[in-house]
Structure 1
Amino acid sequence: MTESLYDFEVEKIDGNKQSMADFSNKVLLIVNTASKCGFTPQYEGLEQLYRDYRDKGLEILAFPCNQFGGQEPGSEEQIQQFCDLNYQTSFPLFKKVDVNGDQAEPLYNYLKDKARGVLGSKSIKWNFTKFLVDKQGNVVRRYGSTTKPDEIRQDIEALIAGESI
């Protein structure tokens, strides 16, 4: 049984493995993304947050997902190119995953267990659902798709400063 967020290993978009333990002592914003969604412009806000706070201890981890309206149909290479060309993303992109159902990425099952959605729901409702994790690996908050990245700025600043939210 997984005890901690840092026990997970995920696959980067280039196929290499990444231990979540590599992100210990960092504030994490973990997002399921899609290239053809009405919320796709949030990539811009995510990149701005990353540029503003990466040197202070923020990591943004993007997990492309095609489970919502088929809005991430491309290959990993196409997804990477889309993000590079349209949003000049510099935060880590990971392999396309499922976030709900029997084939869900185990990390996402963990996140959903730790931070439930509306009315205690575990399932993720749409693209660009965000999970905020403190420096100790505790999942502290879940934000829905409509929450713009800039609206999370104060919470990120508090966690970077070692405060609770």
Structure 2
Amino acid sequence: MQSAGELYAPVGPGGHLLGTDGIGRDLLSRTLPGLRTSWLMALAIVALGLLAGGLTGLVAGAFGGWADAVLMRITDLFLALPGTLVAIAVAAALGSGLGNTFLAISVVWWPFYARIVRGEVRVLAARPHVEAARMAGVGRTRLIVPHLLPGVVAWCPRP
């Protein structure tokens, strides 16, 4: 609601918590709708980055060899390029819109998670329980869920 008597009203306990703008509108009530969209986008970007990066790091760390080399070189490529520039290029290629912006930012967010998860998996792969499972004949693919994933994800249910 506009109020000509409250142009640029200061922040105060009895009135507007964030003050008012040049035409007397409350800044808090104008900020909250944008906050809802921004908060949801931030959570979605982190979730997609964690899923893509976590899966990449888990596969690279668990299998090693050529899979590790290829996946980590792709990750290095994304880390070597400036993230903002890549996000702008992806957004320009996909076009405007909130969904395309979401994808553009997610493309530059996942490599950080991939590096962290790969490092944790490599440390866990040298632990005695994983070595014992490997000596018992458990394949690399079957090692992932019961032995490696619970060590990487603290809230993962234990079998």
TM-score bin (small chain): under 0.3
TM-score, with structure 2 as normaliser: 0.27
Relative contact order: is structure 1 or structure 2 higher (C-alpha 8 Å, sep ≥ 6)? 1
TM-score, with structure 1 as normaliser: 0.26
Q: Which has the higher strand share?
A: 1
Q: Which has the higher helix share?
A: 2
Max Rg structure: 2
